[in-house]
Structure 1
């Protein structure tokens, strides 16, 4: 696997979809991929658990060739990302005001999208945006060990962010 080869990753979790993209980095626990959608268009980054990868195959379709013609080629992610711990990965990917998506594909097919509020012990708290573009009134917590994928930079997240408007201040800052 190199960052110049489009791959398809089949994963083990019960509700996991396959992933397509260019693998940028691989750590002991997590792999970081520049995700692509139909046709080879880039659509954000996704980190997935290395242990969940069941099968990885090269994609030699037109999508692989087309991706190399896009202005975003070659896909990169320059900041160092902690691929050894779930808390570190989420902290670094969710460190800006951009929306972050987490998945728990052993439990259900869903993505929880929001801004990072806090990480405490074994939980991550997101201030979530609902599918209708409204903010949930308070951060919700998720067990770090249950998270199977983390996404940032998706086009859908950009649209959701525009509709949702101003992001709420983290609750731990407003409760003082």
Structure 2
């Protein structure tokens, strides 16, 4: 049986070498991208899709990553893009709560994936970050807003994506959300400096 180096060490090497890698989760999902930042519990990627097209920024939970391997074709394709990869935002990747609090704002359309529901991604606007849950005003694939917010356990989150092409298109076709971002609890209560601990 092959023995693979620990995932954080491979991600750190990719961060230092500025190389594109393929990150494979334990559920079989994979993402190509450039490592922008690495923390104790999450890694931040400038994601590539369809052989080298920029596709936003995604945070992946380290414990759900199975393999990290070079992605030479995406590496070659990405060399043709101007102003890519983007600069790493100031994100605290040492806990789930801190990552969400520092990455998201009340008007950030975010896509989330859960490790126990592979192949599914939900989009919405952050509404509240509670002790163990993330509340979203969810946006359906038909570009309509749910009437009430949905709640997601922090411990179930495996991936958090912003600025991806699908989500950007979805948001551009949607009507105004049920609650203006300025009125969201997120805008008034979420303080990255207090987002300690968590999953």
Q: What is the CA distance between 1:172 and its match in structure 2?
A: 10
Structure 2 counterpart of 1:9 = 23
Per the alignment, residue 21 of structure 1 pairs with 33
Residue 137 of structure 2 is aligned to residue 127 of structure 1: yes
TM-score w.r.t. the length of structure 2 is 0.79
Hey, what does 2:10 align to over in structure 1? none
Structure 1 residue aligned with 2:76:
65
Q: 1:32 aligns with which of 44, 49, 52?
A: 44
Residue 75, structure 1, aligned to residue 89, structure 2: no
Change (3 A) 1:158 1:174: closer
Unaligned ranges ≥5, structure 2:
1-13, 186-199
Counterparts of 1:24-173 in structure 2, within 5 Å, are: 24-61=36-73, 63-77=74-88, 79-169=89-179, 173=183
- Displacement of 1:122 in angstroms is 0.4
Distance of 2:114 and 2:106 partners within structure 1: 22
| C-alpha distance 140-39 of structure 1, shift in aligned 2 (>3 A) | same
Q: Secondary structure at the match of 1:148?
A: strand
Quote how far apart the aligned CAs of 1:171 are: 9.4
1:1-33 CA distance string (max 9 Å, x none): 126211011111x3x411111111110000000
Contact 2:106 2:184 in 1 (8 A): no
**Does the 8 Å CA contact 1:9/1:56 hold for their aligned counterparts?**
yes
8 A Cα contact 1:138 1:171, kept in partner? no
Deviations 1:134-175, CA, capped at 9 Å, x for gaps = 000111101000101100001111111111122332699489
User: Contact (CA 8 Å) 1:113, 1:129: kept in 2 or not?
Assistant: yes
TM-score (norm 1): 0.89
**SS across alignment from 2:48:** strand
State the alpha-carbon separation in 2 of the partners of residues 20 and 10 from structure 1: 9
Secondary structure of the residue aligned to 1:98 is coil
Asked whether the equivalents of residues 123 and 144 of structure 1 are also in contact (C-alpha less than 8 Å), the reply is: yes
User: Alpha carbons of 1:116 and 1:27: their partners in 2 closer, same or farther (altered >3 Å)?
Assistant: same
Please state whether the residue corresponding to 2:43 is helix, strand or coil. Answer: strand
Identify unmatched segments of 5+ residues in structure 1. Answer: none
